[in-house]
Amino acid sequence: MSDTQLAAAALLGFATIVLLISALRVHAFVALILGSAVLGAASGMPPSKIADSFTAGVGSTAGSVGLIIALGAMMGGLLADSGGADRVVDRVVGTIPARGLPWAIAGVAALIGLPLFFEVGVVLLVPVILLLARRIQLPLMKIGIPALAGLSVLHGLVPPHPGPVAAIATLNADMGMTLTFGLIVAVPAVILAGPVFGSFVSRRVQTKLPAAAPTVQPPAATVPSPDGNRSVVDFVGRRQPRFVTTVVTMTLPIALMLLRAAGEFLMPAGSPVRSALEIVGTPVVALLVGVIVAMLALGVGSGLNRRQLSDSMSAALPPIAAILLIVAAGGGFKQTLIDAGVGLMVGRAAQGTGVSPLILGWLVAVGIRLATGSATVATITAAGIVAPLAAGMERSTVALLVLAVSSGSLFFSHVNDAGFWMVKEYFGLSIADTLKSWSVMETIISVIGLIGVLVMRLVV
């Protein structure tokens, strides 16, 4: 087919997905299946080929991404159920003066956002934010926006979260390099979209604190630990893990992946140390190590027995079922795009316009994000579209392309995004105020992410 016909087929497939998700409220998983069928039929693919392409894409994406998402969810469940997340929040908030709380909250949210999904992080942090706003008489947005920024940036840009991991698999990018670049880009994004923007918007969005539901629980007790120190035991008899233990456990998988990247950069091929780092720094292995350490340091360390450990990890899996299905279906849609020839068509068009592939990937993700409301769908689909552009790129540029696409997927969350309504209800905002605060914050993250990628392209 001609490029014009392929472009029309792709637009028809996208329009089908957008219409089903936004107008008809069809689940994104089903919408992606039907959109793939429409795209394949409109591009002239035989029905059997459409089914084969979609199935192959689902299988490859679920195989490469599903394990990482599941292990990350288990680790996040242990972090929450052991009280480790509470310990981190309590320690940081308890030692920082009121003036520095927005910065402290942003840092805590970013740290918690490494292993936890955005929604889980919001559920954990919102009660703390509301309590602080009441106790210290700070504007809600001044500490709420930094928390949301820290969670959103890490969830959107840094592996092992679903969007970045799926884009890495689609573009065949280096995990360690992408992780390193993502952490670098995340720093200015969290600062500018969090404490800086939070201070600005808190003077323009005035909101009353939501009414807090009264909670009644027996008082906590303290018991001596084996080393003679005092450990907090909550009302169900569990000790909270220590602050240092929690932080080390949370960051262990990230550290292993970074060590692998450093080994590949600094050590010669065939070196025994480099070979060992390549094994333990493989994302699945690194997260598996993290889960095992979390079971011992956080689970057993907080007094969970074997059944409670199993229940905690089991309970972490059902909430991610929808995410796994959407990610897998996004991989199927991506493969249908590629097999239909849309990716090559985009590559030819990009060469003719002279637009940087990094900017193009960001723009494609922005368009899909605005249309569907899903950052994950935007990341996976945009990565599939620009995948041919990555074929001849250097490894560092491919890693930056992943971040460009991931940044674009965060652009201007609005009423077709579940996160928009979650923030609105938790913070008791009107739709207009949610647009002024949350939606603008997401846009700042997206733009700063792109700027960071373009700046890094000049030096790597």
Q: What pLDDT sits at residue 416?
A: 66
Tokens coding 36: 């793939």
H-helix or E-strand containing 384?
helix 375-386
Cα atoms found within 13 Å of the Cα of residue 419, Cβ hemisphere only? 30
Q: What pLDDT sits at residue 91?
A: 83
Ramachandran angles phi, psi of 355, nearest 5°: -75, 140
Q: What pLDDT sits at residue 230?
A: 34
Is residue 159 reached through a cis peptide bond, with omega within 30 degrees of 0 on the bond before it? no
Ordered per-residue pLDDT tens for the chain, 460 residues: 778 888 898 889 888 987 888 788 888 889 889 999 999 999 999 999 999 999 998 888 787 777 887 888 888 888 888 888 788 877 877 788 878 989 999 998 998 888 777 877 787 777 778 777 877 778 899 999 999 999 999 999 998 788 898 899 989 999 889 999 999 999 999 999 999 999 999 999 877 776 543 333 333 333 333 333 333 334 344 577 888 998 898 888 888 888 888 888 788 888 899 999 989 988 888 889 999 999 999 999 888 888 989 998 998 888 778 878 887 888 888 788 878 887 677 667 766 677 888 999 999 899 888 876 778 888 988 898 888 888 889 999 999 999 999 999 999 988 667 788 778 877 888 888 989 999 999 999 999 999 999 999 999 8
Q: What pLDDT sits at residue 284?
A: 85
Q: What pLDDT sits at residue 210?
A: 64
Q: Within a domain: residue 122?
A: yes
H-helix or E-strand containing 232?
strand 230-233
Residue numbers of the domain that contains 337: 3-212+320-457
Q: Within a domain: residue 302?
A: no
Q: Which of 7, 46, 54 is nearest to 328 (CA)?
A: 54
Q: What pLDDT sits at residue 375?
A: 86
Burial class (CB in 10 A: 0-12, 13-18, 19+), 285: middle
Q: What pLDDT sits at residue 347?
A: 65
Q: What pLDDT sits at residue 121?
A: 78
Q: CB neighbours of 355 closer than 8 A, spacing ≥ 6? A: none
Cα separations (Å) of 132 from 36, 105, 144, 217, 234?
47, 10, 10, 20, 21
Mapped onto helix, strand or coil, the DSSP state of residue 233 is strand
Q: Within a domain: residue 202?
A: yes
Alpha-carbon span 199 to 145, nearest angstrom: 9
- Please, are residues 192 and 444 in contact by the beta-carbon 8 Å criterion? yes
Is residue 97 reached through a cis peptide bond, with omega within 30 degrees of 0 on the bond before it? no
**What's this model's pTM, rounded to 2 decimal places?**
0.75
Burial class (CB in 10 A: 0-12, 13-18, 19+), 201: buried
Q: Within a domain: residue 231?
A: no
Tokens coding 57: 């894409």
Q: Within a domain: residue 289?
A: no
Q: What pLDDT sits at residue 350?
A: 65
Q: Within a domain: residue 153?
A: yes
Rounded to the nearest angstrom, the gap between the alpha carbon of residue 460 and the centroid of all alpha carbons in its chain is 24
N- to C-terminal Cα distance for the chain?
Answer: 38
Cα separations (Å) of 119 from 115, 123, 172, 175?
12, 6, 28, 24
Q: What pLDDT sits at residue 186?
A: 96
- Please, are residues 123 and 113 in contact by the beta-carbon 8 Å criterion? no
Partnered with residue 231 across adjacent β-strands are 223
Alpha-carbon span 190 to 187, nearest angstrom: 5
Q: Within a domain: residue 268?
A: no
DSSP H helical segments within 172-242, as ranges?
Answer: 175-191, 197-201
Q: Within a domain: residue 444?
A: yes
Total count of domains within the chain: 1
Count the Cβ atoms, other than its own, within 10 Å of residue 104.
Answer: 21
Alpha-carbon span 128 to 105, nearest angstrom: 10
